Amino acid sequence: MHDTARTVVIHEFGGPEVLRFEDRPLGEPGPGEVRIRHHACGLNFIDVYHRTGLYPLQLPHALGMEAAGVIEAVGEGVTHLEPGQRAAYAADPPGAYCEARVMPAAQVCPLPDGISFETAAAMMLKGMTVEYLFHRTTPLKRGDTVLFHAAAGGVGLIACQWAKSEGIKLIGTAGTDEKCRLAHFNGATHCINYRTENFVERVRELTDGKGVDAVMDSIGADTFEGSLDCLKPLGMMISFGNASGPVPPFNLGILAQKGSLKITRPTLFTHIANHTVCQAMARRLFGKVEGGEVKIHIDQRFHLENVADAHRALEARQTTGSTILEL
């Protein structure tokens, strides 16, 4: 066993330049913990939120929420994993940008042999996010229509395929015609280029003026008001991210004026806090991938040493699909 693991750490909040490398001691897992050696790590917008301080961490702190690798050791009480087993996770606390780590075992999931480490690292956080959006947030059934912003991103491309597999019509938005074509290829019924079209007007046209049953919005400030205007009466607004900045305070009375709308601000980590629920969500995701209903697109690869460049590309919206960090 190596005594230390190269780890990405921040000592202050800021831009990609605050990311630095440290060799951190590993040690043995305690009760309810595992030690996992990573083969690949995932990149997500929540990592940017942690780096900038939008989601504050107690500093210094390691970053990264998602990875896949091999279990090296298990602590007392861990029964669902064993040394030598392939595994993957999306989990608190941050610290996945590293060669290896000791961490709580409850959200680490056994990885089927048919799914590669790279695919798993690209899909755990994004795929389980889609799982809770479609199955644990508001009732959705075959024939319903949802609006999904950033449909060509890592979460978006999984959502397009997931919706198609369950007979749900997904109207996507994206920032270029190329990204719109990518979303459509992956199962979006329609995709709107928000730079050249008014997405609210276009959604109304596509739904014969009725609006959609639910909006799934990870953009935040820039799209929030328009998203509300896309909903049918009693529709559900699911605000699950802040890529353009947090949604400012608003008058709840607007929800009544626009048709008794509902709104929620969920997080993946609330859903996976329960071990049994987390493992069930992962199994459903693995089933979608192994069954061919969902293909994970890894469109960018960076070595862990170049993590700052990966953050810059993500923030500049220069990425499509998923991005992984290779070790």
State residue 208's pLDDT score.
97
**CA 147 vs CA 211, 215, 238, 245, 271: distances in Å:** 9, 5, 10, 19, 22
Token pair recorded at residue 202:
């276009």
Decide whether 4-125+272-326 matches 138-265 in CATH topology. no
Pairwise CA distance, residues 71 & 84, whole Å? 5
Question: Are 200 and 223 spatial neighbours (Cβ–Cβ below 8 Å)?
Answer: no
State residue 218's pLDDT score.
95
Mean pLDDT computed over every residue of the chain? 96
Tens-place pLDDT, residues 244-284: 888 999 999 999 999 999 999 999 999 999 999 999 999 99
State residue 244's pLDDT score.
87
Tens-place pLDDT, residues 221-254: 999 999 999 999 999 999 999 888 889 999 999 9
DSSP state of 153: B
State residue 71's pLDDT score.
98
DSSP-based helix, strand, coil % in the chain, nearest 5: 30, 30, 40
Provide φ and ψ at 9, rounded to 5°.
-135, 150
HEC string for 258-319: CCCCEEECCCHHHHCCCHHHHHHHHHHHHHHHHCCCCCCCEEEEEEHHHHHHHHHHHHCCCC
Q: Does domain 138-265 have CATH number 3.40.50.720?
A: yes
Q: How confident is the model at residue 49 (pLDDT cuts 50, 70, 90)?
A: very high
State residue 1's pLDDT score.
56
Pairwise CA distance, residues 55 & 46, whole Å? 8
- The b-or-e profile of 298-309 (16+ CB within 10 A means b, else e) is bbbbbebeebbe
State residue 219's pLDDT score.
94
Secondary structure (3-state) at 137? coil
Q: Which residues, listed in sequence order, are joined to residue 10 by a DSSP beta bridge? A: 61
Please calculate the CA angle 94-238-272 and round it to the nearest 5 degrees: 35
**Rounded mean pLDDT of 188-202?**
97
Q: What percent of the chain has pLDDT over 70?
A: 100
**Rounded mean pLDDT of 40-60?**
95
Tens-place pLDDT, residues 293-304: 999 999 999 999
Tell me the domain boundaries of the chain.
4-125+272-326, 138-265
Q: How confident is the model at residue 57 (pLDDT cuts 50, 70, 90)?
A: very high
Secondary structure (3-state) at 98? strand
**Rounded mean pLDDT of 289-315?**
96
**Rounded mean pLDDT of 199-203?**
97
State residue 103's pLDDT score.
98
By DSSP bridging, strand 145-148 and strand 212-217 are parallel
Q: pTM to 2 decimals?
A: 0.93
Q: Does domain 4-125+272-326 have CATH number 3.90.180.10?
A: yes
Tens-place pLDDT, residues 127-155: 999 999 999 999 999 999 999 999 999 99
**Rounded mean pLDDT of 90-119?**
97
**Amino acid occupying residue 102:** V
State residue 185's pLDDT score.
97
Residue 171 has pLDDT above 60, yes or no: yes
State residue 245's pLDDT score.
87
| Nearest C-alpha neighbor of 83 from the set 96, 94, 70, 92 | 70
Pairwise CA distance, residues 61 & 86, whole Å? 26
